Amino acid sequence: MFILQNQPIFDTVLVSRQIQDMDKKYNFKNFEENIYSFWEKEGYFKAKVNSSKDPFCIILPPPNANADLHLGHAMYTYEDVMIRYHKLLGYETLWLAGADHAGIETQFVYEKHLKKQGKSRFDFDRKTLFSDIWKFVMQNRNTMENQLRKLGFALDWSKKKFTMDEDIVSIVYKTFKHMFDDGMVYRANRLVNYCTSCGTSFSDLEVADREHTGKLYYITYSVKEGGSVTIATTRPETYLGDVAVMVHPGDARYKSLVGKTVLLPITNREIPIIADEYVDPKFGTGAVKVTPNHDFNDFEIGKKHGLSHPPIIGFDGHMKDTGLEDIDGVYVVKARKLIVAKLEEQGFLEKITPHEMVLHTCYRCGTTLEPLPKEQWFIDVGPLKEKAIEQVKNDEIHVHPKRFKKQLIQILENFIDWNVSRQIVWGIQIPAYKCQKKNEWFISVEKPKKCQICGNCAFVQDEDTFDTWFSSAQWPFATLMANCDCDGSDGFFDYFYPTTVMETGYDILRAWVSRMIMVGYFETKDIPFQHIFLHGMVRDQKGQKMSKSKGNVINPLDMIQTYGADALRAALIFGTKEGGDVVLSEDKIVAMRNFCNKVWNIGRFIEMSKTNVVIPAKAGIQSGSVPMKMGIGVEDDISETLKQLQKEFGTVQKQYHLHFKKFEFAKAFDLMYDFLWHRYADYYIEQLKECMQNGNIDASQYMVKVYYSCLQMLHPYIPFVTEVIWKSFHGEDSSIMDSRFET
């Protein structure tokens, strides 16, 4: 008999009793739902503190609780691959499930829902609107979670968290107060990127830049002392809020004008001509207008020169305090046309030329953002980013693929103070309270019973909510803290923190990952995760971004319904460069469906090759030689083929685990795809088919054992079909997740 060196004793099962279990074709619809229910019921996804095992922990990047899954969420497959792989290695694995309230995005969706009913957010008071959105979200949250189940994700649902759970909110409040007490939180009246449609400000990281062919307007200002000066601007409607005309101090054309006064067209309000090196003499005429309340650069110039004027655009996007009655109250876009017409009519408009420019727009609704002055809460990120940069540079946090490390460092180096105030109802209300008597602010984690400034005034809470990224920046430690016993005696947090891997798309490296590093260390004095793994965007077969307008969107739920979860999961990873964009088409999903069928059919062949062959019930191939007790001739050929298989598969195993160690998950899957289909099936089965069917126990036993190991190695990628086959060989009560890689 063919014996594997150092092979442990296995329980056995008679193949003949299992033949009828495997149909001619794998039909995923017969298995996937029941298999997932079995995993959940038997507790395969539940994690606990286990001192005899090393922990492996991933916190799920929380999807929007209110939205259906899209292909970006299907990329969580990478996380499931890592979790299932480390479970087979014997780690105590935790993949903690969660959902995000998604502030402005959810409110935006709800407002569209209201609009269909002929209503708007302004029809409700704050408390009612918040309550209605909460109900709306909760009705949809279960749908999203069940969709994650359909993808086969091994999430620990018993520990799931929501960004607006009371315990999470309490942790978010404590972090904010900690920052405030340390002098890192301050309140300031600054220009913010404001969406007059969504009714809230955004940080610089949430601005969507759009290239646009606009216009450059040349407007003539009369100099009070005689003569005139022409300025060039892309925003003629804001000239009514000008505080100065500015030229470069070295520009000979205007030296004689510096210090003089000009009259604003139509209104005749007087403003000075100033000089500053900020001006580019080559832009337009070399003379520009300064409007501090409606331009970020001008805001700094205004402070530098001590010049100010009230804003002339309101938060509703309408003009105000312009000095022109027929312009006040007009929406800014319409106001531009009216003002240009007035300037032209009265001879102040010299010319208009095309101008290439970049518009800063709302990433949600596409409205052009208005720079507007508003008192907001800001976080001084200087101390935070200094430590974060050090951690990334020193590889305390490893970035995969490595090419993103430099990008992350640059992001952190360029990070500016963080505006965390949002003027929306749906979110975590900032725990800041204003003393009405002394006009000062204090922070309190608990709802205060009295003013902490004067002790007796009717204090009021800030109506703003936190930027969603502020709460999600705390997600790795907040979710684990919220799952601990009240006194932390179970050691849950210390066991799983720092988490092992943060896996997400490279597109939010700036908005989210960088912030988690900064805030995570501030609050825990430890890194939030040991590794960062970044995947790319999903694109169509032509490499184009998927969008409804292009008609190239692939609905992941439709693909699961048609081809099965395994096929979709495999298609997202197969042939993909690590960190690169995923090129996905339905044809690719079909190809992976065919591969799943191939894996199934190999199992059927092995089952049916000999009805009375006794085979081991557990997998695992030990390295070493393959002693044979065979005769000569054909049996010698069989022996050589088996030795060749053992050598080749030993190399495949080593490469597979090395790929995982290097975070090369696609390479590991491609390796197994190629080996199982083109070597194991096309070559070795063809070489050994006849002897297996004729009852050669050595060949049958070893081919089965290689197949078992292949099932294990493929399980992280295609968990359903590998589980079904495993059960077919080992019994309905068994699971491939109970097995372990032989190391």
Residue 662 has a CB neighbour count (10 Å cut-off) of 13
CA atoms of 446 and 73, how far apart (whole Å): 35
Secondary structure of residue 264 in the 3-state scheme? coil
Mean pLDDT, the chain, integer: 90
Give 148-196 pLDDT, tens digit per residue.
Answer: 999 999 999 999 999 999 999 999 999 999 999 999 999 999 998 999 9
Helix (H) or strand (E) holding 3: none
In this prediction, residue 607 carries a pLDDT of: 84
Residue 614 pLDDT exceeds 60: no
pLDDT at 634: 63
**Type and span of the H or E element at 288:** strand 287-290
Q: Which uninterrupted H or E stretch holds 303? A: helix 296-305
pLDDT per residue over 60-82, tens digit each? 999 998 878 888 899 999 999 99
Q: What does the alpha-carbon distance between residue 547 and residue 551 come to, in Å, rounded to a whole number?
A: 6
β-pair partners for 290: 244
Mean pLDDT, residues 51-57: 96
Q: Model confidence over 463-485: pLDDT tens digits?
A: 999 999 999 999 999 999 999 86
pLDDT at 410: 97
- Stated as kind and residue range, the H or E segment containing 205 is none
Whole-number Cα distances in Å, 80 to 146, 440, 716: 16, 49, 7
Domains plus CATH for the chain?
12-25+568-738 (1.10.730.10), 181-192+373-466 (2.170.220.10), 204-370 (3.90.740.10)
CA dist 420 and 63 (Å) reads 21
Contact between 302 and 308 (Cβ < 8 Å): yes
Q: Looking at the predicted structure, is the pLDDT value of residue 10 above 70?
A: no
Structure tokens at 151: 């993808």
Give the list of residues 6+ apart from residue 658 with CB closer than 8 angstroms, or none. none
Average pLDDT value for residue range 655-669 = 98
- The pLDDT of 505-534, averaged and rounded, is 97
CA pair distance 673, 571, nearest whole angstrom: 12
Per DSSP, the residues of 590-626 read HHHHHHHHHHHHHHHHHHHS-TT-EEESS-----S--
pLDDT score for 549: 61
On whether the CB atoms of residues 101 and 180 are closer than 8 A, the answer is: no
CA 396/CA 388 separation, integer angstroms: 10
632 sits in the region (left: phi over 0; alpha: psi -120 to 50; else beta) called beta
pLDDT value for 691:
86
Amino acid identity, position 68? D
344: number of Cβ within 10 Å:
14
Relative to beta strand 440-443, strand 432-435 is: antiparallel
User: What is residue 279's DSSP assignment?
Assistant: S
pLDDT tens, residue by residue, 250-268 = 999 999 999 999 999 999 9
Q: What are phi and psi of 415, to 5 degrees?
A: -65, 125
- Residue 229: the pLDDT is 96
Three-state DSSP state, 412: helix
pLDDT at residue 743, rounded to an integer: 61
Contact 649, 554 (CB under 8 A): no
Q: Report the predicted TM-score, pTM, of the whole model to 2 decimal places.
A: 0.87
Token code pair at residue 281:
């003499």
Q: pLDDT-based confidence at 631, cuts 50/70/90?
A: very low
Q: Which residues contact 292 (CB under 8 A, 6 or more apart)?
A: 241, 243, 298, 299, 301, 302, 303, 307, 308, 309
Q: Which residues contact 733 (CB under 8 A, 6 or more apart)?
A: none
CA torsion 520-521-526-529 (nearest 10°) is: 40
Whether 392 shows a pLDDT value over 80: the answer reads yes
Is pLDDT of 3 > 80?
no
Average pLDDT estimate for 532-543: 90
pLDDT value at 622 more than 70: no
d(CA 1, CA 700): 11
Taking each helix axis from N to C end, the angle separating 565-573 and 77-89, rounded to the nearest 10 degrees, works out to: 100
- Quote the pLDDT of residue 548: 61
> Residue 525: left (phi > 0), alpha (psi -120 to 50), or beta?
left
Instruction: Answer for the pair 467, 203: CB distance below 8 angstroms, yes or no.
Output: yes
Range name among 110-119, 210-219, 444-453, 538-547 with the lowest pLDDT average: 538-547
More confident residue, 17 or 371: 371
**Dist CA 180 CA 168 (whole Å):** 19
